[in-house]
Structure 1
């Protein structure tokens, strides 16, 4: 039975990853920050682990709980959007710290901790990024802080791939998804997005490590 870890799974894309993987017969570890989220994951049949990605000590505890595990798949989903303004409005220090700690710092703390477990299974380590993190495809400054955080995440993923040759690293854009973050007018359902992401992940080989794809498999410009 293959084993997966989904980080940030209490709702939305992360929760759907857990649901689809469990339906596919995977053993799934999944994290949430509160008791309600943990119970929802248990209801799906996952092994629920409490985690706050903004706190290094919480991530260290996750490593202890997963000691000895080999991960065929790890997915870092945890993320926040932050203020929706453009560059004419500088972010507050509080907003900057919140977005960067969750979207970038948490991922950079998780990589050295979890990558050896993924390498042990010759597995895949995926990170939910965004097309808004693409510098080459940027068309506005809307969501300025979020864009900057996802571009930074992309760099973390790309460069970490060099140090972990026995795992496949990938940054993934899920599309504009109908979640709490994406809103009710988004173009695709969470089921469609995650199904596409799992298809893309399943087709990745060693030659694809360090790549940046969307849920339909298209290579995105950095």
Structure 2
């Protein structure tokens, strides 16, 4: 039975990814900051672990707790949106907090769990990014801090794929699309079930040739 570790598993896309992986027979390690408050998640009867991705000590503690476990797919889903503000309204602390959670945390998690992934059969690291991270496809949407943090995440994933090839690990960034979640809002085009199913399919199809890529939930390559 393959194992997936999912961060930010208590709501939205993370919760649906947990549900679908569990339904498919995977061993799911579902992580969130406050498991006791994650009623929907615990109801799925998966293995729930406490993890604050913004806390380096929390990451190391979980990695130690899971020492000796193999993790086929390390799925960095946890992230924050911040305020949708444009030019002239940048707030330094908020900008840096998004970088810490959305870009630095996945790197620290990859470093902490690299042995777990290396020991697995599938050896995959994936991160949920955003189409707004595309530098090529700049549009009028604001969110400087969010877009920059996800662009940073894309570089982290591309570099991880480059650095971990010798271990047989494949890494990639996947955009979920505009999804009907608390973050995406009710006007979003995609149902969370469809986005999660697409993400899982993209991860299943990852191989060395696709390593370091930036993909949509539909499998299409997104320009950097």
TM-score (norm 1): 0.95
Which consecutive unaligned segments of at least 5 residues does structure 1 have? none
Comparing 92-101 and 170-179, the one that deviates more? 92-101
Mapped contact 1:72–1:123 kept (Cα < 8 A)? yes
Partner residue of 2:40?
Answer: 40
1:157 aligns with 2:154: no
Comparing 27-36 and 165-174, the one that deviates more? 27-36
- Distance (Å, rounded) in 2 between the aligned partners of 1:218 and 1:56: 33
User: How big is each residue's C-alpha offset from its partner over 1:94-135, in whole Å with a ceiling of 9 and x where there is no partner?
Assistant: 312321111012112111111222122142111000000010
TM-score (norm 2): 0.95
Which consecutive unaligned segments of at least 5 residues does structure 2 have? none
1:78 CA drift (Å): 0.6
Partner residue of 1:52?
Answer: 52
Of 202, 205, 213, the residue aligned with 2:204 is 202
User: How big is each residue's C-alpha offset from its partner over 1:68-106, in whole Å with a ceiling of 9 and x where there is no partner?
Assistant: 01111111001011110112222x233123211110121
- Distance (Å, rounded) in 2 between the aligned partners of 1:54 and 1:29: 18
- Distance (Å, rounded) in 1 between the aligned partners of 2:35 and 2:118: 31
- Distance (Å, rounded) in 2 between the aligned partners of 1:127 and 1:198: 12
Structure 1 pair 69–205 and aligned structure 2 pair: CA distance change class (3 A): same
- Distance (Å, rounded) in 1 between the aligned partners of 2:106 and 2:112: 10
C-alpha root-mean-square deviation of aligned residues, in Å?
A: 1.3
- Distance (Å, rounded) in 1 between the aligned partners of 2:73 and 2:41: 17
Structure 1 pair 64–196 and aligned structure 2 pair: CA distance change class (3 A): same
- Distance (Å, rounded) in 2 between the aligned partners of 1:145 and 1:96: 5
Partner residue of 1:193?
Answer: 195
1:105 aligns with 2:107: no
User: How big is each residue's C-alpha offset from its partner over 1:136-160, in whole Å with a ceiling of 9 and x where there is no partner?
Assistant: 1112351111000000000011011
- Distance (Å, rounded) in 1 between the aligned partners of 2:76 and 2:93: 23
1:168 CA drift (Å): 1.2
- Distance (Å, rounded) in 2 between the aligned partners of 1:16 and 1:201: 15
- Distance (Å, rounded) in 2 between the aligned partners of 1:39 and 1:51: 16
Mapped contact 2:6–2:74 kept (Cα < 8 A)? yes
- Distance (Å, rounded) in 2 between the aligned partners of 1:36 and 1:70: 26
1:38 CA drift (Å): 4.3
Mapped contact 2:35–2:49 kept (Cα < 8 A)? no
1:39 CA drift (Å): 4.5
4+ runs deviating over 3 angstroms? 35-40
